Amino acid sequence: QQQVKQSPQSLIVQKGGISIINCAYENTAFDYFPWYQQFPGKGPALLIAIRPDVSEKKEGRFTISFNKSAKQFSLHIMDSQPGDSATYFCAASIETSGSRLTFGEGTQLTVNP
Amino acid sequence: SAVISQKPSRDICQRGTSLTIQCQVDSQVTMMFWYRQQPGQSLTLIATANQGSEATYESGFVIDKFPISRPNLTFSTLTVSNMSPEDSSIYLCSVRPGRPLLTDTQYFGPGTRLTVL
């Protein structure tokens, strides 16, 4: 059972554009939602994370929007740059159940110069 | 954040053999995890490595195939036993720091790229 569904699978954006990646979850017990960025040959690196008590969190060019009633959250990358080209994973966990992360399928982002 | 190293970074092994992957953290952490990432795929949790006790395995993963040790708060090993080509994956260690950060954040190591012939 895929508990976190991510879309799109791949995304191509022009430099300076906005990249939007969406995730939907099923388990309402999830209480922590991080996004990870992974470059080829590297481990995932935490980008930004949110808890369900807020609807939006912004860090620099990266924003998470969270819709608890719809069980959806999304990552927005403003002013996308070629250096942002990577694979992005959303994830979810339950703090009181050992913080085990359930990952989405991943989105391969390409930002063209 | 925690600095995590893994050894080996990559290896090519013959089927039927075993490989032990090491994960070392530069500070004491409360929780350590092992994930598998098959080529071009997402990450799947194998097990939670518990310090001083047996690891907790996720559905589909068993101790006989993936024995795990965690002798202290900065080190863990994952062994991939009796390997087959289907075990070809990237194996990643991750940690959740303890005090003083007390955060849910997990930090990942660089991964071990395993190819089984």
pLDDT one-digit tens code per residue, B71-86: 999 999 999 999 999 9
Q: Are A47 and A35 in contact (CB under 8 A)?
A: yes
- Tell me, rounded to whole angstroms, the distance of Cα B89 from its chain centroid: 12
For B50-76, what is each residue's pLDDT tens digit?
A: 887 889 999 999 999 999 999 999 999
Pairing of strands A10-14, B29-37: unpaired
Model confidence pLDDT, tens digit, residues A24-55: 999 999 989 999 999 998 999 999 999 888 99
Of A42, A43, A103, the CB nearest to B42: A103
Cβ-defined contact of A99 to B104 (cutoff 8 Å): yes
- Give the H or E element holding residue B81: none
Distance, CA of B57 to CA of B30 (rounded, Å): 17
Count interface pairs A-B at CB distance under 8 A: 53
